[in-house]
C-alpha cells in the first residue's frame, strides 16, 4: 500500500540522481551543460515544475539539458511508485538548480578550470499540504 512516508526520501533521491555522475549527456555531465549555459546567458537558476513538466528560463536550456530534463520528468512517476508512494499524494513537485556565478574557484587538477557552487532544491508538497524538502549543494565544473 502506498505511503506518504517516503516523499522526503523521494525529494532527496530525485535531486541527488539528477545532479549525480549518472546524468551524463554526449560530452559532459548535465550539471556541466547547465553551468556552461548559465555562464553564457547570465541566468543562474533553472526552475523545473516536475509535475507539470515545465522548465525555465528557456534561455538556460539547450537540447542536451532539455533531453535530460525530459527523461527525468518521464521517469518521476515510476520512481515515486517504486519508492512506495503514489503520484496521487503529490500536489506539487519542483526542483531548482542554482549556480553561484559570483564565486569561482580553480579545480585542484587544473587551475585554468573554474568551478562554481551549486544548490539543488527539490520540494514536494503532498495532498495534505505537507512540504518535503531536500537541499543538495556542491561545486561543479564543465568538462569541456
Place of cell 503532498: 126
Please report the pLDDT score of residue 1 as a whole number.
Answer: 86
CA–CA distance, 63 with 75 (Å, rounded to integer)? 18
Sequence spans of domains, the chain: 7-140
In 10 A of CB 125, how many CB atoms? 18
Query: What DSSP string runs through 73-105?
Result: HHHHHHHHHHTT--GGGEEEEEEEEEEEEEEEE
Specify the pTM: 0.95
Q: What is the pLDDT of residues 73-114, one digit of tens each?
A: 999 999 999 999 999 999 999 999 999 999 999 998 889 999
What totals of helices (H) and strands (E) does the chain contain, helices first? 3, 7
Amino acid at each position: 500500500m502506498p505511503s506518504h512516508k517516503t516523499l522526503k526520501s523521494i525529494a532527496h533521491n530525485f535531486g541527488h540522481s539528477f545532479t549525480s555522475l549518472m546524468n551524463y549527456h554526449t560530452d559532459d555531465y548535465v550539471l556541466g551543460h547547465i553551468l556552461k549555459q548559465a555562464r553564457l546567458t547570465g541566468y543562474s537558476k533553472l526552475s523545473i515544475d516536475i509535475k507539470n513538466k515545465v522548465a525555465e528560463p528557456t534561455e538556460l536550456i539547450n537540447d542536451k539539458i532539455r533531453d535530460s530534463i525530459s527523461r527525468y520528468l518521464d521517469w518521476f512517476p515510476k520512481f515515486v511508485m517504486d519508492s512506495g508512494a503514489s503520484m496521487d499524494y503529490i500536489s506539487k513537485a519542483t526542483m531548482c538548480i542554482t549556480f553561484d556565478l559570483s564565486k569561482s574557484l580553480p579545480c585542484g587538477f587544473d587551475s585554468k578550470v573554474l568551478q562554481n557552487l551549486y544548490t539543488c532544491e527539490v520540494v514536494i508538497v503532498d495532498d495534505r499540504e505537507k512540504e518535503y524538502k531536500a537541499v543538495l549543494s556542491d561545486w561543479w565544473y564543465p568538462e569541456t
